[in-house]
Amino acid sequence: MKKESKEAILFEIGKFLIDIAKLVFGGVILAGIMKYENINQWLLFGLGGSVVLACFSAGAILTALFKKRRYNNGIDCIFMCCRPVSSRYWHLGCYPAPQ
């Protein structure tokens, strides 16, 4: 398997884990709001919080390690909408440094 395709797969797995963490967080909040009598609140928030924390941290690590676009100054462009018109804004980290 090529290195680029492996990095792309791991990057997508990281995004998937972050999505799972968001869904579990929403489920825990909804289950906490409904307040069924047979649900232990400590167990719900403890297990739900640990699953959210584990999935989010693993997803964040994978997406940070295998970021698709790295620029010459080592700063990642978090907001992909910040595309300047000219290369004079390269110091913002959203545009490749001039060669």
> How do the pLDDT tens digits run along the chain, 99 residues long?
787 788 888 889 999 999 999 999 999 999 888 877 888 889 999 999 999 999 999 999 998 887 755 444 444 444 444 444 455 555 555 555 555
**Residue 79 confidence (pLDDT):** 44
**Residue 13 confidence (pLDDT):** 92
CA dihedral sign, ordered 79, 63, 15, 50? negative
pTM over 0.75: no
Residues 6 or more apart whose Cβ sits within 8 Å of residue 98: 87, 90
